[in-house]
Structures are given as C-alpha cells and as structure tokens.
C-alpha cells in the first residue's frame, strides 16, 4: 500500500521491476494508466492495465481508469489479490471463461459494480473478494468452485446469489460465512449455458 491514496494519474514501471506487491496502487483514485517497459520480463501493460507477461494473470487495474465496463479475455486464468480494488468507475465486468481463481480483495470496494459474471469453471474465490460492492445485484456460483473463503460478499446487501449446490452439498472447503451480507441465496439452481 506504499502508493495507496496518492494523487498519481499515471505510472511507468521499468524493465528491471521484478515484483508488484498486492494493493500497491490501492485507492489511487486518479490513477488512469499503468505503463510497463516493453523489455520487462515479468509484466506487460495492455491499454494501461497490468498483466503477467504470459497474459494469464491480471495484476493491476488502475482505480481511476475511466471505464464503466471491462472484459477480461479468455487467456486470463488468475485475477491477482486486490487487482481491481477501489475501482469505483466500473459498473460491469465480464470475466473470461478460463478464469480459475480470483484472489482476496480483488474487487474490494468497487462501489458502483452492479454486474459480474462468474465463469462456470471457476475453482477458487478468495477472502472478501467482493467486499464493499454495495450495488452488486446478482451472481451465479457453479459447482466447479472448490474453495470459497470467508465473507466473499461482505457488505453486498443488494445481492442475490444463485448457487448450483444444494445447501447440504456445500463443500467443507467453503468457509461457513462465505456469503457475507448477501440479501438472498437460492440453493440448487441449475443454469444452462
């Protein structure tokens, strides 16, 4: 959180940078773009958003990027911890079909986020991933999810969750308070896509 809350509007990451810590740009509400030197062996910037060089992980989405919707393509398998934290402009996010894991606090305090699709083959959702997403209205959770940490949907008081598992079938790898503050949870819902 070294740069958290600063007035930065853009950042340039040099070629020798080997590691970006979780949430280093958290709450930098003016940060609209993060550029990465093309010779950096670990990271790449695509339209101001930082990905791992192999494009399988989204690392950092600038909190001040002026987009209401964002599509994560099918190459991405992982969303890093705190990757979208405090992205208050985003209203809709489409996750690629190959996303397997969403890290802790990934969408923390995306206060205007209304819609996000959870891929049917997602395997893991981290701690407090959607905490503070007070406008989030609906998610579908498939039975492919093997691990669900605590309070994933904390403070999501407008949220309706449709869950493929019956309530009695929830795996023991799901924390007992995974649903956080969700308004409605419907169990045993099958979705055909």
Q: Which domains does the chain have, with CATH numbers?
A: 54-193 (3.80.10.10)
pLDDT score, position 6: 67
Q: What angle do CA 132, 1, 87 make, to 5 degrees?
A: 40
The predicted-structure confidence for 130-153, as pLDDT tens digits, reads as follows: 999 999 999 999 999 999 999 999
The predicted-structure confidence for 72-129, as pLDDT tens digits, reads as follows: 999 999 999 999 999 999 999 999 999 999 999 999 999 999 999 999 999 999 999 9
Residue 187, CA distances (Å) to 44, 85, 94 in order = 40, 29, 23
- The whole-angstrom separation of Cα 133 and Cα 153 is 8
**Structural tokens at position 176:** 């007992």
**Structural tokens at position 122:** 């997602």
């Amino acid at each position: 959180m070294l740069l958290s809350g600063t007035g930065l509007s853009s950042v340039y990451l040099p070629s020798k940078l080997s590691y970006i810590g979780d949430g280093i740009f958290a709450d930098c509400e003016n940060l609209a773009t993060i550029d990465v030197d093309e010779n950096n062996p670990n990271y790449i910037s695509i339209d101001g958003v930082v990905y791992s060089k192999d494009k399988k992980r989204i690392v950092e989405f600038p909190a001040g990027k002026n987009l209401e919707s964002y599509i994560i393509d099918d190459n991405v398998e992982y969303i890093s911890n705190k990757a979208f934290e405090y992205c208050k402009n985003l209203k809709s996010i489409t996750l690629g079909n190959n996303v397997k894991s969403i890290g802790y606090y990934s969408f923390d305090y995306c206060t205007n986020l209304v819609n996000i699709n959870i891929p049917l083959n997602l395997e893991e959702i981290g701690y407090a991933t959607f905490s503070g997403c007070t406008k989030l209205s609906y998610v579908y959770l498939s039975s492919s999810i093997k691990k669900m940490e605590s309070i994933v949907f904390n403070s999501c008081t407008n949220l309706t969750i449709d869950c493929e598992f019956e309530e009695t079938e929830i795996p023991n790898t799901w924390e007992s308070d995974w649903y956080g503050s969700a308004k409605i949870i419907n169990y045993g819902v099958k979705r055909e896509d």
